């Protein structure tokens, strides 16, 4: 059934899940997750392998459907895809185009205001300038990851979902991603970052959710940024 336009959020200040569940055959990837993440308060999503983090982010990104339960975007049951920036495991870029061509093409295609300037800014922020005019297929893993993150940020997302963004990144790139996470949140986005790397994420988030076997095992909303030790402690408790 087609969604009514009023049910599709284009601007929202929170994302909430209600008893979200997802099964793949007999595997329960999510078994009833109810959480709320507010704009401006970047959230760490932690948990061991197979805990359900990628499944959770894919459902929020509307790339997968829940088996039951709901996602509400500022209270609305649907969301305009163009408001979501998602960086998942596979790079959503054209291998034959250069980094700059990819960002400029997607920027135009997705209707980003001042797309050329935005692409140029992200190339600089993610230290892609030296390789920006090389085809993406020649990139190393870390270079490709930086391009994927730039691609997710292009649309100035209202909802930014980064699934293990630090994988393959050097210390400098990790710092750039932490800074971008904070900036996008300050600009009013709902930001969720999944990772196993507490060192890389430390200080970027002010709340955290730990998933275990598809359920919420612990949550924490700090008064300020959660540093590496706070993330480790929460994980240990869970
Ligand atoms: P990791 O830290 O290893 O990336 P994760 O927390 O992101 O793990 P998910 O990828 O969400 O975990 O997987 C949750 C569970 O769902 C796992 O048991 C996984 O095997 C299963 N699963 C995920 N995707 C599928 C699929 N397409 N088909 C079948 N099972 C799946």
> Which ligand 1 atom is nearest residue 55's CA?
11
Does residue 93 register a pLDDT over 70?
yes
Distance 195 CA to ligand 1 centre (A): 14
**pLDDT above 90 as % of the chain:** 88
Does residue 3 register a pLDDT over 70?
no
If you take atom 30 of ligand 1, which residue's CA is the nearest one? 24
State mean pLDDT over 134-153: 96
Identify which of 195, 192, 143, 144 has the alpha carbon closest to the alpha carbon of residue 166: 195
CB 44 within 8 A of CB 205: yes
What pLDDT is recorded for position 5?
53
What pLDDT is recorded for position 61?
96
**Could you please report the per-residue DSSP string of 56-99?**
HHHHHTTSS--SEEEEEETTBSEE-GGGEEEE-SS--S-TTSBH
Terminal-residue alpha carbon distance, the chain:
40
Pocket flag, ligand 1, residue 63 (CB < 6 Å) = no
State mean pLDDT over 89-111: 91
Does residue 199 register a pLDDT over 90?
yes
Distance 31 CA to ligand 1 centre (A): 13
Pocket flag, ligand 1, residue 88 (CB < 6 Å) = no
Q: Give CA–CA dist 130/168, Å, rounded.
A: 18
Pocket flag, ligand 1, residue 22 (CB < 6 Å) = no
Stated length of the chain: 238
What is the best residue among 25, 52, 198, 235 to mutate for testing ligand 1's pocket, by most ligand atoms within 8 Å of CB? 52
Pocket flag, ligand 1, residue 237 (CB < 6 Å) = no
Q: pLDDT-derived band of residue 135, with 50, 70 and 90 as boundaries? A: very high
Does residue 35 register a pLDDT over 90?
yes
Distance 199 CA to ligand 1 centre (A): 24
If you take atom 2 of ligand 1, which residue's CA is the nearest one? 49
Does residue 119 register a pLDDT over 60?
yes
Does residue 11 register a pLDDT over 90?
no
Q: Give CA–CA dist 105/99, Å, rounded.
A: 10
Does residue 2 register a pLDDT over 70?
no
Q: pLDDT-derived band of residue 1, with 50, 70 and 90 as boundaries? A: very low
If you take atom 29 of ligand 1, which residue's CA is the nearest one? 24
Q: pLDDT-derived band of residue 6, with 50, 70 and 90 as boundaries? A: low
Does residue 234 register a pLDDT over 50?
yes
Distance 61 CA to ligand 1 centre (A): 16
What pLDDT is recorded for position 4?
56
pTM of the predicted model as reported, rounded to 2 decimal places: 0.95
* Pair of tokens at residue 155: 């649309």
- The angle, 0 to 180 degrees and rounded to 10, between the axes of the packed helices 99-109 and 115-125 is 140
Q: pLDDT-derived band of residue 185, with 50, 70 and 90 as boundaries? A: very high
Pocket flag, ligand 1, residue 50 (CB < 6 Å) = yes
Please write the tens of the pLDDT for every residue from 66-91: 999 999 999 999 998 889 999 998 77
Residue 211's contacts (CB-CB under 8 Å, 6 or more residues apart) are: 33, 45, 46, 47, 51, 52, 53, 56, 217
């Amino acid at each position: 059934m087609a969604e009514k336009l009023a049910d599709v959020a284009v601007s929202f200040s929170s994302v909430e899940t209600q008893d979200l569940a997802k099964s793949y055959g007999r595997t329960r990837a999510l078994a009833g997750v109810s959480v709320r993440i507010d704009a401006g308060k970047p959230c760490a999503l932690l948990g061991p392998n197979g805990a359900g983090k990628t499944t959770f982010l894919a459902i929020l990104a509307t790339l997968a459907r829940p088996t039951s339960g709901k996602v509400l975007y500022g209270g609305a049951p649907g969301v305009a895809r163009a408001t979501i920036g998602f960086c998942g495991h596979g790079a959503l870029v054209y291998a034959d185009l250069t980094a700059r061509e990819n960002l400029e093409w997607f920027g135009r295609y997705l209707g980003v205001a001042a797309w050329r300037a935005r692409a140029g800014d992200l190339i600089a922020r993610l230290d892609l300038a030296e390789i920006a005019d090389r085809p993406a297929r020649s990139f190393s893993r870390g270079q490709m990851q930086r391009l994927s993150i730039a691609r997710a940020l292009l649309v100035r997302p209202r909802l930014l979902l980064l699934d293990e963004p630090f994988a393959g990144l050097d210390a400098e790139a990790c710092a750039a991603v932490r800074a971008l996470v904070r900036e996008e949140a300050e600009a009013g986005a709902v930001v969720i970052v999944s990772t196993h790397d507490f060192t890389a994420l430390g200080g970027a988030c002010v709340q955290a959710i730990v998933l275990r076997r598809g359920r919420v095992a612990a949550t924490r909303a700090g008064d300020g940024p959660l540093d590496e030790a706070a993330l480790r402690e929460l994980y240990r408790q869970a």
